[in-house]
Structure formats: structure tokens, C-alpha cells
Chain A
Amino acid sequence: MTFTGWLTIVLFAAVLTALAFPLGSYMAAVYSGRRVFLSPLLGAPERFLYRLIRADPSKQQDWKAYAKSLLLFSLAGWLLLYLILRTQDAFFVPHLLNPQGFHSGTWNVTFNTTSSFMTNTNWQYYSGEVSMSYLSQMIGLTVQNWLSAGVGIVVAVALIRGIVGRSGKSLGNFWQDLVRTILYVLAPISVVAALVLVSQGVIDNFASYLTVHTITGLTQSIAMGPVASQEAIKELGTNGGGFFNVNSAHPFENPTQFTNFFEMLLVLIVPAALIFTYGRMTGNRRQGYAIYGAVMLMFLGAVVVAYIAEAHGSPAQHAAGLHTGAISGSGGGNMEGKEQRFGIAGSALFDVITTVTSCGAVNSALESFTGIGGAVPFANLSASEVIFGGVGTGLYSILLYVLLAVFIGGLMVGRTPEWLGKKIEAREIKLAGLGILITPLAALFCTAMATATKAGVASISENALSKAGANTPQGFSETFYAYLSQANNNGSAFAGYTGYLAPSAGNLGAHGITFADLLGGFDMVFARYAPILFALAVAGSLAGKRISPAGLGTMRTDNPTFVVLLIGVIVLVGALTFFPALLLGPIVQGLTGHLY
């Protein structure tokens, strides 16, 4: 551990908060229909878009109508993306946009990839630079990077409207919210961010792969592509699907120490800002501060543990005789699967950020993290992506937890629970409870299926088996992480686990592992849309309720006591659900120096 390492972590939290606050106010204005500084520029294109897609933004939708528009739009996106990926080598694809001549994906891995990008998961069984054409990356994957982010955000906005709504059942208009999210929030930041990234060395071109003749007489082939445009929205939309196989560890995706810091900000800025947006829209900013305080505390806790564990080094390193302390000119620590320019702090911080949000764009190899360091991403996912969480998904998920905390608090003091003046009744608690439990249920069910069947075990990497070929805690970690990550729509991986075998570049002779592809695909879709429906149903249920003035007995949801209660509920639900499974994988490795 080093002083600059700790300084990076502290400064990051400060800069993030300073930027998220104004963005949160701006977004509150956008979703309340007030004029913002971009209105003169974007008003006309916005109205043009409504006409083009034949949507009437003034039409108010109740939760069912809102959900229907959302589901139909997602279905259209799924079908189009599947079509694009399956016709990658068709005659109508121009050579310029598939210069390496990659073949189309197989049906099973394409099913997984399509489900993955539509649900903002961006779990990747394929490897970008050996199987995806530039055209697929642009009109397929990049587009879903935008749209899946937009869908997440509008659900959070709709839930806020339900919570604060004073009359009727309206949650707003899905199409209006979607268009505004893209035009007013994502587009301006994304375009600027892409150009900043290019200025630092992130590539953006349509050239075929370079052939280099090195000074020692070797040849090297270097992958190219339109990276920066996808990189910016990949981080901003907490998508996380890398253009290249190693994602944000690749020097062409994340070339410098500065871009590493910048990309971390891009990942967290919208989820953090949305919490302030919530405070603004409820008319009581302290409501936002309370949630922000709770998630920031949990976030910093995770970072501290990961940093200390990784700086300590791994049992394998120590057994080999390496000294892992910091020395002059080297930060030391567990550098297996980490890049020199990021070091231990820059890798630990990035990977905590990417696993608390639903991003998943790692800059180092999670599978090579130490037992305890690797347990941190597990814990983040076990908290169901509420510690900031994905764009939108984080906020609507934690609001369900707030509801639960209010209910439990109400039980403890023996009064009818109220939240922002609205009575919480059996219907809301049932819906919120289901919304919270769906994701863990999907994750554990799929893990059990994959651990208990021969077809599931086939996906475990050779490196995670013992020399005699037996399964190890590492193999279980890989499997568990795969389905936990897909259920939480995160997309980061203990990347040895595979659903796709490509013996040679270009998809030639490639085949998917059908079991892992399909199970993961259903895992992602189910755990994305079921909670969305429950969140919208809660919104619909709350929208029509009358607001009663706060009395003496009302439990406040904007003070430190509530922050503690909220953290307690989140930790308790996560721990009770996942602790037994966590023991079998990362914790057993973290507690022993034993090598398998």
C-alpha cells in the first residue's frame, strides 16, 4: 500500500461527489420538463424524433402501459441485434466494416450475447477482436450500449414519479423519457468523453489490423477498430462490454493513468447523480443525501478491503519466493493479471467501481485477484447492485430496499410505516420483496444447475482445475461468479469460465457451449425484466396514494439513523442469501495459504 494509492481513492470519491451533484440537479430538471441550458439546441431535434417514431409525448401512461412500451421496445432491439450478429459475413456487409472477414456467430453464443447487451449486462463469451466485425460493434453492440442504459434510467425516473405522484396513476411517458435520456443526458457526455479518450491514445478508425516488423525481427499483428465511440458509452451507460477481449485493461481502451481515472468517473457519474436527482424530485434533498451516504460508506468499505488484500499479494506468489511489499520503483502486491500503469490501487478501485455498478468493464483479471480481494466483487454483486448500481437499475433497486427498511423500521416501533407521506401497505411490500429476491434466486438456481450437471462443469477452465483434473474452490468461484454476474446484469467475469470455443481467429470452426449460453441468457433476461416489472408495479401502486402530513410518530428517512438501518437491511439480505455459497469459493481461498 502506498500514500498515493490511498490519495487516489479519497480524491476519486471527492471528485465524483462534486460532479454528480450538479448533474443530478440537471437531470431532475430534464425529467420534470423544465428548460435546461441545452433546450435551445436540442428542442427541435427532440420534437423531430417524436414525429419520426410516431410517439405522442403528452400521452400519460400508467404503469402497465409504461411497462408494455418498454417490453416491446426491448423485444424489437433483441430481434434486430440477433439478426445483425448472425449476418456478420453476409454479402451486403461492406468489406470496409468487416476488414478481417469474420464469420457470423453461432446461434447459441449469439443468443447469449444478444440477451447480454439488451439487458445492460454485457457478459461476453466471445472475444471482440477475433470474432466481431466493425459493423456488428457499431450498429449492433454500441446501439444497445445506449438503449439498455436508457431503459434502466427511465425505470428509475418512473419509480420516482410514482413515489412523489400526488394524483392519478400516471408515471410519465416511456418514449419521452427515453428520448430525453439519450439526447439530454447520455449524448452530450458521451461525445465529449469519446474525444477526450482519443486524445489520450484510445483508437478510433476503420483500418484493417496492422502488421508490424519489430526491431528484433519478429512480426506483430495489432487489432484496430472504432473503439473510442463505444468505449465512452460503455462506461457512461454502465454497460461494460469491451471492444477487445481484455476490456479496459487493453492499452487501446485505457491507455494512461489519466484515462483510468476518467473512465472510473464515467462509470459512476450517472448512478451517483441519479441519487441526487431523486432527492430533488421528492422536494427534499436530504432524502438523496441519506441514500448517497449509505452507498458511499459501503463503497469505500469495499475499496479498502480490496486494496489491502491485493497489496498483500497471493499465496502462490509467496510460495514461489516473491517479495510482494512495495519497494523503491515498484508498488509490489499481486500483479498477476494487472497492468503496470494502473498499479494495485488503480486496479482495485476500478474493479470495485465496475462491480458495485452493473458495468463490469474490468481493467485487471478478477480471477487472479486474491481470495479476499476477489470476495469483494462477490460481495458487491451479492448486494444486488444497489451500491450505486447500474444507471437507473441501482436507484430503483435501492428504492425497493428503502421501502423494505421503512417497513422493518415501522414494525420495530409498532406504527403503520409511511414513506414520504404515503402509507406502505401489504401490496407494496409484497411487490418490493419479490423484486428484491428475484435476482438472488436466479443466480443461485443457475449456479446450482451448472455445478450439479456435467454440461455445466464443462465450462470450467483448465487453469481452475487441480493438476489431477479435479474441481477446486477456484472452479466453484468461476461458476458461481458467472451466474451471479449475469443475474445482476453486471457482466464482469472470472474469465476462465467459458461458453464459447473458437479454435482459430475469425470464428472459423467455433462453437458455443449450449448449456452455459442458454442458461446464462435466460438468467440475464429473467433477472432484468422481472425486477423492472416489480419496480414499475410498486410505482403504480404508490402513485395513486394520498399524501398525509408527517406527524410526530413518522419515521424519518433522511437522517443518520435511517442510513444505518438501510445499510443493515442490505447487508443482512445479501449475507443471508449468499453466505453459504461464498464460503465454498473465495472465502475458503482467502483464509488459507493452501495451493490447489
Chain B
Amino acid sequence: MKSDTGHDVVTAVIAMIVFTLLLGVVYPFFVEGASQVAFPGAANGSKVYVNGRLVGSRLIGQSFGTPVLEKDGKAKEEKGAVVTEADPRYFQTRPSATEGGADNAAASTFSNRGPNSVKTREADEENIKAYMELNTAANRQPYDPALTVAKIPVDAVNTSASGLDPEISEANAHIQAYRIAALRHLSLATVDSLIGKYTSGRGLGFSGEPGVNVLELNLALDRGHIRRSPGSGGAGA
């Protein structure tokens, strides 16, 4: 019985080392190597370039804001993060609960706010106010004449799970389209058709919700929407 236990200990230790090499070195390096050969674009983060400059990942949401400047011209900071305000000429992503600024892709996090919390209600109210202000023109009329608080889609107000949601709902995009059309002097139909172009379907035709990829849509706006070959949008150079 004694020697049996001794033998078991030896086997346990060797097995641990062997499995660590097999499953912790061979397996991950094999998957990495095969991915780099077969799907290099996806394996490296679905990067998006504009004129050779890395502007983001197709899959990672980002903030389309501009830094708020202090009187001395420097970017204003709070808690080590640059304070930004939404740039109304671009579609805006969903609210994000990440620290160190919205859409911090180096530290994803949930808000962890509860369903019956006063803090959740206050955060929602704040986001509603910001959304209404962003989508209201200088003449105090909303760009979308039908827009009221009850019409705001929930995804535009509730923070996403990852804090990095790259997509918004179609309803959210169509409300923002009025603003974009007005500020960029485009027809509403043009903007709406562009939204349709960057809307994902449901997986396998039934799974999940359709969403509009905000980065691809904004890049298409900047490129000028007219007569680009379909599908070239945002795929990177």
C-alpha cells in the first residue's frame, strides 16, 4: 500500500508536467499558429485602417467624442481620464461603464447596477438627458420630430455588458440619423440606406438581435457615402 501511494505521487507529478506541456504549450501554440495562417485578420483583432492609420477594431466599440479643452488649451482630465463630449456629427455608441473613460478596451467591465437601485434610475435619467440634448437642434426642436423620452430605445440609455458594445439598435440609429442628416447636409433617405448597409442580420437567420456597427457607419460617412463598392466599408486596407 505504501509503495502504491509513492507510485501514485510520482505519476501525479509527471502527469501534471506532461499535461501542462501538452495543453498549456502545444495546444495554445497550435491554435495560435493555425489561426494566424487561416484567419490572420480575425485572429489579430479585426483591425480597421484608414490611409494606413489604425483607427480601431470592427468588433470593439469606441467613443466618438472630442476632448474637452481647458482655457489653456490642454485636454481636461478627471481621475486620470480625458473628459470628452460627444461629437454630434458622428453616430454615438451605447453608454459604457468602463473606468478611465468610456469604451476602455484595456479594462472591460459591467456597471453592476441593480434593477431596484436609485443609482440605476439616476444613471438612466442622466443618459436620457444627454441623449435628448444631443439629438436636439439649436432651435430647441429635436432633429427627429417624433422624439420623446418614451421613444428612446433602451440600448441608447442602458450601459452595455462589456462596456465595449460595437453596435446600436436600428431604432437608435434611425433616431440619430435625423441629426446626422441635418449636420452633414445629407438627405435622411441617404443616411438611412447607409444604416441598412452596416446592419448585421440575426445569426443563422434567427439568433440574437440585429445591430448597426457604429465605427463602420461613421467611417462610411466620412468617406462620402456615394457609390462605393458594397462591402468594402471598414474592412481595412
Contacts and interface: CB of A to CB of B under 8 A. Distances in A.
A495 to B, nearest CB: 5
Q: Which of B39, B63, B128, B152 has the most CB of A within 10 A?
A: B39
Given A213-B53, A322-B124, A592-B116, A337 B161 contact: yes
Nearest to A52: B18
A339 B31 contact: no
A430 B154 CA distance: 52
A458 to B, nearest CB: 16
A7 B60 contact: no
A223 interface: yes
Interface string A194-228: 11001111111111011111111110111110101
B34 A195 contact: yes
Nearest to B10: A54
A147 B200 contact: no
Given A364-B161, A463-B119, A474 B106 contact: no
Given A147-B19, A217-B66, A55 B43 contact: no
Nearest to A362: B161
B24 A138 contact: yes
A38 to B, nearest CB: 17
Interface string A121-135: 000000101100000
Contacts of B121: 316-317, 319-320, 595
A130 B82 contact: no
Contact of B55 (A214, A368, A464): A214
Q: Which of A216, A592, A593 has the most CB of B within 10 A?
A: A216
Contact of A257 (B104, B111, B209): B209
A69 B11 contact: yes
Label chain B's interface by main secondary structure: mixed
Interface stretch (A72-80, A164-172, A439-447, A508-516): A72-80
Interface string A304-330: 000000000111110111111001111
Nearest to B110: A365
B207 interface: yes
A260 B207 contact: yes
A342 interface: yes
A221 B108 CA distance: 11
Contacts of A147: 19, 23
A2 to B, nearest CB: 9
Interface in A341-371: 341-343, 345-347, 363-365, 367-371
Interface stretch (B133-141, B170-178, B182-190, B224-232): B170-178
Contacts of B62: 212, 214, 218, 220
Contacts of A324: 154
Nearest to A474: B114
Given A72-B8, A212-B56, A365-B111, A327 B171 contact: yes
Given A218-B63, A367-B110, A323 B19 contact: no
Nearest to B101: A218
Interface in A499-518: 505
Given A210-B47, A330-B153, A256 B200 contact: yes
Contacts of A250: 108, 162, 164
B116 A340 contact: no
B107 A339 contact: no
23 contacts: A4-B207, A49-B18, A68-B5, A69-B12, A129-B107, A139-B24, A204-B36, A205-B43, A215-B64, A216-B64, A222-B60, A224-B44, A246-B108, A322-B154, A327-B171, A336-B124, A336-B159, A340-B165, A341-B209, A367-B112, A367-B113, A368-B110, A473-B116
Interface of B: 4-5, 7-20, 23-25, 27-28, 30-32, 34-36, 38-39, 42-47, 50, 53-67, 82, 84, 87, 90, 94, 101, 103-121, 124-125, 128, 149-155, 157-174, 200, 202-204, 206-209, 211, 218-219, 222
Interface of A: 4, 7-8, 11, 49, 52-55, 65, 68-69, 72-73, 75-77, 80, 127, 129-130, 138-140, 142-143, 146-147, 175, 178, 182, 187, 190-191, 194-195, 198-207, 209-218, 220-224, 226, 228-230, 232, 244-246, 249-252, 255-261, 313-317, 319-324, 327-343, 345-347, 363-365, 367-371, 373-374, 461, 463-464, 466-467, 472-474, 477, 494-496, 505, 589, 592-596
